Structure 1
């Protein structure tokens, strides 16, 4: 830590800004990166954000530049990281697959490739458990503004959702009201209980 504080101020700003950009751009997958990957991404995000900031404030008095530099760099790197997280990886993967360079989706897992596809909206989720029962949530029928949104998933495969129907191993169906008298009931399903997940989705832009 002391070594970091002894670095030139400009380099400190670049590293801090770059780290924030890296965290925003790799939310949920950063723990899968190697040390060299992290370092290079921190430098790339930091250099891009600080370079853009320098160009934007170059005509201001030097005293004002020193004040504005770190704050504007943070704003820019947050936007850059968010854009990369939402569109960057998917765009690179699309181009590489289009030209036959690779068939991989460049996501840490196929599960993440499914849950991170931004233009598709989920309308129904059906989970088959290792016990043979089905847990379903008809997302399109749920009210808006629920805690944890309508469904919560993570990169490990754990799911939390508001059940609307359960079918046990014998085929008996039970309907659920996830919201009753102002209270909401969410169900957590750990990945260890999940045998299969079926997602029904549609293109939010086209409605298909």
Structure 2
């Protein structure tokens, strides 16, 4: 660590930019990278950020009246790291995966699991049914959920799922379905239900392209 503190500020900024890019591109994806992969990804984002910074400085020096612009370079590098990471997260990785799939090279979307692939889908969820291991089915129709709820209508993670239940289908096929109001009119609150993954047998979704 002391060795990193003794290098030039420009090089430190380059490393920080690389880390920013890596962190933003992988945030919330539950991926575990080996040390070598982590370092190479940080280095890749750092190099791209430095190239953008160097080109920016060249362009800025062409503007009349601007002198001694080189001191801004480290800050441009760090800012570029944020932009590169965000761009790769939003556009780059998805399109690169599609390119690999279209060329029959790889069908891996680089997510940790199919569950996480669904969680990070760019589609808009409109309807979900959760089949429980006890035979009960919990349904959430997003059209019945008021606008701007205090918590998103759907959250998926490795440990389970949370939804606003709008209908309950009992385990007994002969029993009538139960409509459950999302808003408790007496208390004026919304009911959000957390369902652990261990209690889920199957999930069905309705998706709509954004």
**TM-score normalized by structure 1?**
0.85
Inter-CA distance 46–94: structure 2 relative to 1 (3 Å threshold): same
Give per-residue Cα distances to partners, 1:4-56, cap 9 Å, x unaligned: 21222122111111111111101123542111111111111122123212221
Q: Deviations over 1:66-111 (max 9, x none)?
A: 2x33443343322221221222222122111111112333322112
Could you say if the C-alpha distance between residues 30 and 49 of structure 1 is closer, same or farther in structure 2, counting changes exceeding 3 Å? farther
What is the DSSP-based 3-state SS (H/G/I as helix, E as strand, rest coil) of the residue aligned with 1:57? Answer: helix
Alignment equivalent of 1:197, drawn from 197, 200, 203: 203
Give the one of 134, 142, 146 matched to 1:143: 146
Describe how 1:23-172 pairs up with structure 2 within 5 A. Answer: 23-29=23-29, 31-58=31-58, 59=61, 60-62=66-68, 64-66=69-71, 68-118=72-122, 120-154=123-157, 156=158, 158-171=160-173, 172=175
List gaps (5 residues or longer) in structure 2: none
Q: Any stretches of 5+ residues in structure 1 without a counterpart?
A: none
Q: Which has the larger radius of gyration?
A: 2
Structure 1, residues 142-164: CA drift from partner, whole Å, max 9, x if none?
A: 2222223221112x152111111
Q: Alignment RMSD, CA only?
A: 2.0
Aligned to 1:9: 9
Alignment CA distance shift 1:92-1:126 (3 Å): same
What TM-score do the two structures reach when normalised by structure 2? Answer: 0.84
State the number of aligned residues. Answer: 200
1:85 and 1:18 map into 2 onto residues whose CA distance is 14
**Structure 2: distance between partners of 1:37 and 1:14:** 18
